[in-house]
Each structure stands twice: as structure tokens, then as C-alpha cells.
Amino acid sequence: MSLEFAPELLRYLQQCRKITVLTGAGVSAESGIPTFRDAQTGLWARFRPQELASPQAFTRNPAIVWDWYAYRRGLVAQAQPNPGHFALVKMERHVEKFTLITQNIDNLHQAAGSQNVIELHGNIAKVRCAECGTFATEWDDTTQKPPRCSECGGLLRPHVVWFGETLPQAELQAAVRATETCDAFFSIGTSGVVEPAASLPFVALKKKALVIEINLEPTPLTTAADYAFAAPSGQVLPELVRTVWG
Ligand code: BV8
Ligand code: ZN
């Protein structure tokens, strides 16, 4: 794919010292992980988010919620980073101060080699006790679902942020700081509906950073962004990184 990039965009990115990137499920789509809202493959096409990704759902139906995450953990375990993930690793190596804020819980940015990753919504590979918070490194969910905590007997749950749960404060503050101080802000593969992550690109706009969106479909950010590419991130990112940084 030979995309045309505006020369002023290329020149600006070449002299950027600080770049912050926000990613969503769209960057993992080309790794075969279904996104949330794509009707044909969206995980939530069959389930409504509040039915599963919420403390109420876990209280009401812990076994079903546990199984849904176990199923998704299986999908993630088979997935490999795609060229979009690797292009972000390359970008990080060329930029003095690079921060990658992700809403994804699939660990693919870290698997690709990204160093400075802020996980706003947790990580599906991590499991903790819903009662005492102890992390479990192993569990047996063949006899009991959810499995129980070895420390206190409480129910184990995925270490992800559910709807209605607050985001980890340290991560959120670091994400806001990296958004407020960057020269360029990329919003990639996110429908921009889940708060507070969806507000970050608008914070960048207010701070006069250059805002670039890469997303297959239009979002609330598209008309406000300085540049918007409606193309797969696994194709645009490698092309852009090669053109700007060689
Ligand atoms: C909070 C982890 C304070 C779990 C996720 C009423 C009651 C309670 C809360 C609320 C409420 N109303 C609003 C709220 C706030 C709520 C919220 O924003 N709701 C939305 C739905 C309106 N937010 C919260 O609850 C947050 N906590 O605010 O705490 C509080 C406390 C109490 C009460 C109020 C406030 C917690 C939010 C975190 C929820 N957890 N995930 C799990 O994964 O199961 S969110 C989930 O959505 C994922 O993290 C995901 O990353 C995130 C965002 O989705 P996207 O990543 O954008 O994915 P999506 O499929 O939507 O879009 C993909 C895009 O990529 C598409 O546009 C597609 O076109 C594009 N694409 C596809 N392929 C490609 C591509 N682009 C490029 N290339 C491709 N190849
Ligand atoms: Zn416990």
C-alpha cells in the first residue's frame, strides 16, 4: 500500500521529541483478536458489555464471566503481534520520549517489544483474588469456576478494569501527563467511546499537540484530528514509520 503522507506531517514527526500513542482493540484486529464493537466479529456482538465486563455481572454470574475471560485468554495466547505493533516499537526507538497508552488487555505491545507501555484497563493474562487482591500465578478451573484464592479462599477474577470500576490511578495520571506534554499524539484502532481513555486525544488537542488518528471507521475524534487515516493500522504504521524514520 503506498499511502501519500503530507510533507509537513513527515517534517513535523521527524523533529518531534515527545510522542504519545493511545491504542485500542483495532491494533490487535490484524493479529486475529476480535474487537469489541465490530458487529461481524465483535465479542460483544453476542454479549452486551454490561452483561459480562462488570462487577455486577461477576457477582451475579461468576462462572460465566470467568469462562468468557478464559475463552478470551485462549484467543490472546494464540495471537502474535502484527506489523502495526512492531512499527510502534520502531517508533519508540527513534523518539526521545515515547509513551504507549493502551486500552488493550492482550499484552501484544509488550510481546512485540514496546518498553514504555501504560495498561489503562489491566491485562487479561493476570488473575487476582476479588477479596484480598493477591495475584495468582496458577489456578485450577477444572473443578471450581471461578477458582478460589489460595490465601483466603476468595473468588479469583481477571486483573482487568470492568465498567463502573475506576482505572488504576497511577496509570491514568501517567497517561494524562504523557498526553499533556507530547508534541504529537496518535489515536490508533479505537472507537473512542470508552471513558476516560476517549478523552485523552481531546486533551492533546487542547495542549496544541499534533493529533493523528488511524482507524478504519470514523469516530468522535476524526473531524477534530489534524490527520485521519481510515486504513488498517498494520499497513499505515509500518509505512509511516519507514517514511519518517527510515
Ligand atoms: C470509570 C477491560 C469511573 C475489560 C474495558 C454508566 C455506569 C458506569 C460507568 C459509566 C456509565 N456511563 C459511562 C460510564 C463510563 C464507562 C464508559 O465509558 N462506558 C461507555 C461504554 C459509555 N467507563 C467506565 O466504566 C470506566 N471506569 O469510568 O470509572 C466511574 C465509576 C463508576 C461510575 C462511573 C464512572 C472503565 C472503562 C473500562 C472498561 N473495560 N476493557 C474487558 O476487556 O473485558 S473497555 C473495552 O473497551 C476495552 O478495554 C477496549 O479497549 C475498550 C475500548 O474499545 P476499543 O478499544 O475502542 O475497541 P472497539 O471495538 O470499540 O473499536 C475498535 C476500533 O478499531 C473500531 O473503531 C474499528 O473500526 C477499528 N479497527 C478495527 N480494525 C482495525 C481498526 N483500526 C485500524 N486498523 C484495523 N485493522
Ligand atoms: Zn484472597
Per residue in 135-162, pLDDT (tens digit) is: 999 999 999 999 999 999 999 999 999 9
**How many whole angstroms separate alpha carbon 65 and alpha carbon 54?**
9
Task: List, in order, residues 6 or more apart from 183 with CB less than 8 Å away.
Answer: 12, 16, 17, 18, 19, 209, 210
Average pLDDT of the segment spanning 199-217: 98
Residues pairing with 229 in the sheet: 214
- How many Å lie between the centroid of ligand 1 and the Cα of residue 163? 8
Q: Is the CB of 107 under 6 A from ligand 1?
A: no
Ligand nearest to the CA of 43: 1
Per residue in 103-142, pLDDT (tens digit) is: 999 999 999 999 999 999 999 999 999 999 999 999 999 9
Ligand nearest to the CA of 234: 1
- How many Å lie between the centroid of ligand 2 and the Cα of residue 144? 15
State residue 35 phi and psi, 5-degree precision. -85, -175
Question: Of the residues 85, 94, 109, 121, which is catalytic?
Answer: 121
Residue 121 annotated in active site: yes
Query: Taking all residues of the chain, what is their mean pLDDT, rounded to a whole number?
Result: 94
